[in-house]
Structure 1
Amino acid sequence: MIRYIMKRLFMLIPVIAVVMILSFLITHIMPGDPVRMMMGDFATEKQVSAMKHHLGYDRPFFTQFGEWFSRIIRGDLGESLFLYEKVSTAIFSRLEPTFMLALVGESIGLLIGIPLGVIAAVKHRSWMDQSAIGISLAGVSIPSFWLSIMLIYLFSVRLHWFPVQGYVPIEESGIGVIKYLVLPGLTLGFMQGGIIARMTRSAMLDVLRQDYIRTAMAKGVAEKFVIIRHALKNAMIPVVTVIGFSLAVLLGGTWVIETVFNIPGTGSLAINSIMKRDYPVIQGCMIFIALVYVIINIMVDVSYAFLNPKIKYK
């Protein structure tokens, strides 16, 4: 197992290298001039040219790439053009809101999706199955921004239960941080729960048709025990894959939700950086998101061995 993990970690190097190259290329073919946006409309061409020379943006493309790549492999992501701080500092300072939001959203998604999928599979072709399918389709189909606005209107504007927007760090609010995460967490949880429910239902239906499940039922084993101990555990491999993917999406930054609820996470940082053409921050966010996806993917692959003893890694 350790050998397999080390092998996968070693494979991170070419993946991250490709992401680094693509992030540099994408930012430099984007329309818009970051230096012009940074200095404002009243800056003269001479001032803009001087700033470009200072930042190195007037150098040949491959020269810029070589200097940037050499800094990246030393762990230096550069400095933001607008935030006046290092890119690594800007990203890490916004990890807490994104991590907490991902934790709450994924937890709600699991609480909705797995029970809903199990019930739909066990009560196949019943009204409960149809209801579960309808709820999961709603979770997948409803736009996140619309659901966010509806939740804000109901629970914040009308009932005054939760704040409309914002986020207060844990060190300042303690357990009170939850009230800022309930509505965005519900939005994300409902969306992710729909995806998880559909996969759980599909995987459970395949397992429930297996001979060993019917044999256990015929021998008089309690139905709840068979469903939870045997069927659900053996159906979890595709479900864990979906859970891992959804968690990577949430940890990478939920751009729309963070923008609607004004949460200062990595998603809102990326959106603001794109709007301002802040090249170093955009590149840093892309590398961070790629790392999250790859690491989560490794964790999901490792979890397969715990769910199914037949799977062996060398």
Structure 2
Amino acid sequence: MKAFLKWTLLGVLTIVGIFLLSNIGTLFLNEAPDKLRAIASPSIDWNAALSKLPDVTVVDPKSGILSVPYGRTQAYASQLVRIQGIYRVNAVPIEPTISWQHYTFTLKDELSGYLRGDLGMIRNTSINKDIPVKQELKAMLVRTSAYFVPGLLLAVVLGVGMSFASSLWRRLGETMDGVHSLLIALPDFFLIVLIQLAAIYISKFTDKRLILIVQIGKEVPFLIPFLTIALVPGVLLYGTMRLAFQRELAQDYVITAMAKGLSRREVLLNHVLRNVLEDLLTALPKATTLALASMGVAEAICNIMGLGGYIVNPTFQNVSAMPVTCAILAAIAIAFHGLYALLRRTFVISTKEAA
């Protein structure tokens, strides 16, 4: 119970920290949070024009400087531009400054919105319109999970399977170790670009679009993000499990078992594999974090409107929904970490020396 409370508190603090950090951009101001500049007709009657907006006052009629409620410049800009005689509404630039007032105002405003069920807005580039993230959230989760979960499972299968095969056949192990050294030296972004270029190259030799490169309407690429999520954490898991197998193969119990006539395959299956389970469960949390990061980069490159792509790709971003999507990704990571902790507690035998 004590451990459960500790990890629950840690998860809550993580999500709160992400919420605070995801709004850090609002701490820095280069535009007035309570002023707007309206470009209007010289003959405009400001009193009549602003009669339906009592919260807006004219600061300088000649230059069109208007005062609006603090932190509501975007909302009032969209209303002012609809008034006849006002052609355009711009923000008023100020000298860059750090404003804790604006930061705390944004946090309070977002929290009050969450209490009302408003999770912010997200930009849908297919229809070029901002829509409530609450409306799009389910589709984003389904879209991301469709290749994240299978990709992560494939990474585990590849990492464990290839390390097992490399330990069983030495020549294959030497080859795989060389490939692993090459892949581990390459940046993740470079690997993702190579996968996308390969998909484009293969598509040139087909009459039909067998491999989708970017999201087109409701058609979402699967192969590129799937392979990306599987490859990057798979490389990590292979290196970890390869070392674990080599460590166990050097143990006395393995030498004794092989001396009694057991084959290398039987020793690996019946003895070594279960002894490296702890190494796998120890590496899985980091592999999952890498898979989430790779997912974000792959979604951004493929222009996929998913949880990760939304955060990374600037064409999707709308700052009002950023904390929600960041918190959801954090919650997914925490859930997987909890699952691994449960599996470790269930299947890994803990040994302690007697006093």
Report if TM-score (shorter chain) is over 0.5: yes
Distance 1:308 1:96, change over 3 A: same
1:62 correspondence with 2:81: no
Alignment match, 2:308: 267
Alpha-carbon distance in 2 for matches of 1:31, 1:121: 57
> After superposition, where does 1:62-81 map in structure 2 within 5 Å?
62-72=104-114, 74=115, 76=117, 78-80=119-121
Contact 1:136–1:193, Cα closer than 8 Å, also in 2: no
1:293 correspondence with 2:333: yes
1:281 correspondence with 2:337: no
Alpha-carbon distance in 1 for matches of 2:291, 2:116: 24
Distance 1:182 1:310, change over 3 A: same
Alignment match, 1:134: 178
Give CA-to-partner distance per residue, 1:121-174, whole Å, 9 cap, x none: 345xx43222111222343326133212332133322245723324599xx99x
Contact 2:230–2:291, Cα closer than 8 Å, also in 1: no
Distance 1:306 1:49, change over 3 A: same
Alignment partner of 1:188 out of 229, 237, 244: 229
Q: CA deviation at 1:108?
A: 3.0
Alignment partner of 2:200 out of 142, 153, 159: 153
1:53 correspondence with 2:104: no
Higher percent of residues as strand:
2
Amino acid at match of 1:11: L
Distance 1:252 1:284, change over 3 A: farther
Q: CA RMSD in A?
A: 3.9
Alignment match, 1:303: 343
Higher percent of residues as helix:
1
Q: CA deviation at 1:53?
A: 2.3
Give CA-to-partner distance per residue, 1:66-95, whole Å, 9 cap, x none: 3434555x4846321645433344333211
Contact 1:252–1:292, Cα closer than 8 Å, also in 2: no
Distance 1:76 1:162, change over 3 A: same
Alignment match, 2:287: 246
Alpha-carbon distance in 1 for matches of 2:214, 2:317: 25
Amino acid at match of 1:53: R
Give CA-to-partner distance per residue, 1:197-244, whole Å, 9 cap, x none: 111101111122222222222333343232023212211222233333
Alignment partner of 1:164 out of 209, 212, 216: 212
Distance 1:81 1:168, change over 3 A: closer
Alpha-carbon distance in 2 for matches of 1:253, 1:47: 45
Distance 1:191 1:252, change over 3 A: closer
Distance 1:28 1:63, change over 3 A: closer
Alpha-carbon distance in 1 for matches of 2:67, 2:328: 30
Alignment partner of 2:164 out of 94, 110, 118: 118
Contact 1:253–1:266, Cα closer than 8 Å, also in 2: no
Amino acid at match of 2:177: I
Distance 1:184 1:266, change over 3 A: same
Distance 1:61 1:265, change over 3 A: closer
Alpha-carbon distance in 1 for matches of 2:71, 2:316: 16
Distance 1:261 1:60, change over 3 A: closer
Distance 1:50 1:243, change over 3 A: same
Alpha-carbon distance in 1 for matches of 2:212, 2:291: 21
Unmatched segments (≥5 aa) in structure 2: 41-62, 77-98, 124-128
Alpha-carbon distance in 1 for matches of 2:39, 2:316: 17
Amino acid at match of 2:256: T
Distance 1:189 1:60, change over 3 A: closer
Bigger Rg, which one: 2
Contact 1:245–1:296, Cα closer than 8 Å, also in 2: no
1:98 correspondence with 2:144: yes
1:87 correspondence with 2:128: no
% identical equivalent positions: 16
Distance 1:282 1:64, change over 3 A: closer
Contact 1:200–1:236, Cα closer than 8 Å, also in 2: no
Distance 1:48 1:262, change over 3 A: farther
Aligned length: 295
Contact 2:122–2:132, Cα closer than 8 Å, also in 1: no
Contact 2:160–2:241, Cα closer than 8 Å, also in 1: yes
Contact 2:113–2:119, Cα closer than 8 Å, also in 1: yes
Q: CA deviation at 1:32?
A: 7.3
Distance 1:156 1:30, change over 3 A: farther
Distance 1:195 1:267, change over 3 A: same
Of the structure 1 ranges 256-265 and 51-60, higher mean CA displacement relative to structure 2 is found in 51-60
Amino acid at match of 1:12: G
Unmatched segments (≥5 aa) in structure 1: none
